[in-house]
Amino acid sequence: MNLLGNNLIHLDKAQIKPAAEMLARAFQDDQLYTYFFPNLIERKNKLHVFFEGSLRYGIVYGEVYTTSSNLEGVAFWLPSEKGFTIWRMIRSGFLSLLLRSGKKVISKMMAFSDYASPIHKSHTPFRHWYLMYIGVESMFQGKGYASALIKPMLTRIDQEYLPCFLETQNEKNVHIYQNFGFKVVEVGTIPGTNINHWAMLRDKKSSQ
């Protein structure tokens, strides 16, 4: 049954762990995360910890929404003025959880950040929202949950007359995001991998 309506709820702290586990399942075979965690067992054991940390950051500094108490899907949005810093990562508890990933994983994440962050900054030298990620449990994919997570926030962003930026490493997602008004602003390959990287920007709505 397709999801009807746009009623979303803020993720609360009590939901972080189950939401992180859902996201780990949703991204289990994602190219970027298989690059970070190439070992399947390690990925199953540690990927949810990464998402737990990032959700903690999102609740403190951004906005994290879910479709219902059943956590069919989750979206993490971050305003540009609340970008990642060491102090914010410590304060939110993200850093301590991230360190549990191990040196090799952190090294890969830092290398990815060194590649992706300049691309992000070069295309957004202004206030904007950043769609960090959106994940939907596999059994609910294709039933409107992703759209239900995205549309209300984009409506709000339009009302704020702000642009929105996102990145994806999945070519199938490019067309989906284009349907929401995002345009590809840069395409590249993550250094040392064969993983393509699309940077996409949704222009701000005119105030006139």
Q: Is residue 133 part of a domain?
A: yes
Say what the pLDDT of residue 6 is: 60
Q: Is residue 184 part of a domain?
A: no
Q: Is residue 129 part of a domain?
A: yes
Q: What is the mean pLDDT of each run of 10 residues along the chain (208 residues)?
A: 59 96 96 95 94 97 95 97 95 93 93 97 97 95 91 94 97 95 98 97 82
Residue with tokens 């900054």, as numbered in its chain: 121
Asked if residue 24 lies in contact with residue 51, where contact means CB atoms within 8 angstroms, the answer is yes
Q: Is residue 2 part of a domain?
A: no
Say what the pLDDT of residue 7 is: 75
Q: Is residue 188 part of a domain?
A: no
Say what the pLDDT of residue 142 is: 86
Name the nearest CA neighbour of 100 among 52, 58, 134.
52
pTM: 0.92
Q: Are strands 129-136 and 164-168 parallel, antiparallel or unpaired?
A: parallel
The tokens describing 128, both together, are 């904007």
Q: Is residue 62 part of a domain?
A: yes
How many structural domains comprise the chain? Answer: 1
Say what the pLDDT of residue 208 is: 54
Q: Is residue 192 part of a domain?
A: no
The CATH code of the domain that includes 50 is 3.40.630.30
The rounded distance, in Å, linking the Cα atoms of 101 and 84 is 18
Q: Is residue 203 part of a domain?
A: no
Three-class SS string for 73-142?
EEEEEEEHHHCCCHHHHHHHCHHHHHHHHCHHHHHHHHHHHHHHHHHHHHHCCCCCEEEEEEEECHHHCC
The residue segments making up the domain with residue 94 are: 9-165
